[in-house]
């Protein structure tokens, strides 16, 4: 990585103000690799944080997508569907599976539902959520560079550092 290229990780989280420790661990680990963390900072006053998250993701992808080293996705983001991303017919179970649907239908295009010109099938995704063990429900995750960490689980800090160290 040359000095003028600054790679970044995009974090999609509807409540970043609640995750100060997680943000610090991510920032410190990324900073040690010369990378930055991009996330929505002023979302707590939003009437529609789910929509704000999807708009932010879309903007990040359209701005130098080749400099995105990875994604951190919250699974539970309050929004009904992915229409903001230009994807019709993808429901999120009332927000319960938003991060999973973003990965499957938008970033990885596993479902072949998006026409986005940007494909991130080789880009690591870290699912970071309070929802326990979702990977068994979505076996396609094993075909892509996906990692799942429970926020409440012991050792999450080390798991985040390991994930960051795996980024190229």
Q: What's the rounded Cα separation, in Å, for the pair 141 and 48? A: 28
Residues 8-35 have a mean pLDDT of 91
Radius of gyration of the chain measured on its C-alpha atoms: 15
Model confidence over 70-128: pLDDT tens digits?
Answer: 999 998 899 999 999 888 888 898 888 899 889 888 888 665 666 565 678 889 999 98
Q: In the structure, what pLDDT confidence band is assigned to residue 1 with cuts at 50, 70 and 90?
A: very low
- Tokens linked to 144: 């892509």
Look up the pTM and report it: 0.88
Question: Beta strands 36-38 and 68-73: pairing type?
Answer: unpaired
Which domains are seen in the chain, by residue range? Answer: 8-166 (3.40.50.2300)
Nearest to 81 by CA among 65, 62, 95: 95
Contact (CB, 8 A) for 71 and 123: yes
Model confidence over 123-154: pLDDT tens digits?
Answer: 999 998 776 666 667 777 777 888 888 877 78
Residues 35-59 have a mean pLDDT of 87
Q: What is the pLDDT of residue 3?
A: 45
Q: What's the rounded Cα separation, in Å, for the pair 41 and 64? A: 20
């Amino acid at each position: 990585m040359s000095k003028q290229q600054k790679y970044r990780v995009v974090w999609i989280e509807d409540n970043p103000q609640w995750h100060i420790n997680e943000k610090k661990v991510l920032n410190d680990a990324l900073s040690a690799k010369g990378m930055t963390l991009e996330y929505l900072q002023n979302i707590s006053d939003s009437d529609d944080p789910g929509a704000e998250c999807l708009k932010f993701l879309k903007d990040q992808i359209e701005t130098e997508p080749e400099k995105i080293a990875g994604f951190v996705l919250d699974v539970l983001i309050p929004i009904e569907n992915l229409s903001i991303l230009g994807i019709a017919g993808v429901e999120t179970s009332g927000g319960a599976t938003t991060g999973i649907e973003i990965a499957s239908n938008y970033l990885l295009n596993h479902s072949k539902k998006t026409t986005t010109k940007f494909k991130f099938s080789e880009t690591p995704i870290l699912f970071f959520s309070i929802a326990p063990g979702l990977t068994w429900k979505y076996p396609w995750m094993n075909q892509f560079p996906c990692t799942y960490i429970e926020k409440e689980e012991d050792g999450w800090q080390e798991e985040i550092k390991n994930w960051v160290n795996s980024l190229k």
